[in-house]
Amino acid sequence: MKKYSMIFLIIGIAVLILITQKLLLPLVYDVAKSDAFLVASNDQGSQMPISNSMTELAFTHCNNHIKSELGSDATVTPSNKPLNAWSLGNYQYVINGEISIISASNTSTKKYACRITYENGDDLTGSADFKNWSIEGIDGIDGI
């Protein structure tokens, strides 16, 4: 039996490769092409930066969240509009903005990226209320 163990190993690896290529990968591709992961929404994603009422609200909510997280020790002044804003689709946004932070020890201007999601889907009546949004993450500002 020891004499044939290397042959059985090579045959076993070849069978695993064939099963993966001929059975599993086509199945995975068919599932990925199907509508199984499709989310029906009026908000379409875009690879290009956009500006609309929802991105403006997302920008405002991100700035308010940053102000509340930094507290009263620092004076926070956001820019008037975002540097860029992208819709990922299904009311998920990435906001790239700039904010000035003035504290007792220094003054700095920082650029940040904020990922935020509107939770109520196509019902936009509560979009002005921050309770209907969730911050997924902020990058670029230390301490948040």
What are the pLDDT digits (tens) for 1-48? 677 888 999 999 999 999 999 999 999 999 888 877 766 777 777 788
Q: What's residue 135's pLDDT?
A: 94
Fold category of 53-139 in CATH: Nuclear Transport Factor 2; Chain: A, (3.10.450)
Please tell me the predicted confidence (pLDDT) of residue 134: 95
Taking CA atoms, 139 is separated from 4, 27, 62, 79, 115, in Å, by 57, 37, 11, 17, 9
Q: Tens digit of pLDDT for each residue in 69-113?
A: 888 778 888 999 999 999 998 899 999 999 998 887 788 899 999
- Residue-wise pLDDT for 119-140, tens only, equals 988 888 888 898 999 999 999 8
What is the Cβ-side half-sphere exposure of residue 127, based on CA atoms within 13 angstroms? 19
Domain ranges of the chain: 2-37, 53-139
* pLDDT above 90 (res 63): yes
